[in-house]
Structure 1
Amino acid sequence: MIEFLFLLAFAFVLVFTGVSIVGMLFAVLIGFVVMALAGMIGMMFKLLPWLILIAVAVWLYKDRKGEQRHCRHYRRRP
């Protein structure tokens, strides 16, 4: 939401300073791209500890499941 308000304020400042509509649309488009990329990078860093925790949990689960399958194979007697 803050990004949207930033883009609106940016567009109004450009209109009031005398920039044309085409220049304003181009500037808002570039601002949107920059803000979207910054938001995605910020979200990635915010979620990075959780992503690492999930990756470790999946790795441990797969490792344990492989050991259980290996042990079951030796328990069966033909």
Structure 2
Amino acid sequence: MVELLFLIAFAIVLFFSGISMIGMVLAVAAGFVVMAIAGMIGVMFKMLPWLILIAVVIWFYRERNAEKRHREKYFR
């Protein structure tokens, strides 16, 4: 899917700029931007389950410590 986005962006830039040295530089820059953004989005979705797991573990840890402090404070 990412390769398809790259090819579409490359073709659009070449279509609008023509095939010249400036056109090739613009095409490479546009391709780089599209691939960088698509790569970042891909990494975000790949890391999302781990980030959710870390957030849940921290939440459980804080709740457990809060309950422990509450018992120590009121049930001595």
Seq. identity, %: 65
Q: Which has the higher contact order (CA 8 A, sep 6+)?
A: 2
> Structure 1, unaligned stretches of length 5 or more?
none
> Structure 2, unaligned stretches of length 5 or more?
none
Length-normalised TM-score, structure 2 = 0.71
Q: Deviations over 1:13-47 (max 9, x none)?
A: x7xxx821111111111111100011011111111
The ranges of structure 1 where at least 4 consecutive aligned residues each deviate by more than 4 angstroms after the TM superposition are none
Larger radius of gyration: 1
Length-normalised TM-score, structure 1 = 0.69
Provide the residue aligned with 1:49 in structure 2.
49
Provide the residue aligned with 1:32 in structure 2.
32
Aligned length: 63
- What CA distance in whole angstroms lies between the structure 2 residues aligned with 1:38 and 1:71? 49
Alignment map for 1:1-78 (pairs within 5 Å): 19-76=19-76
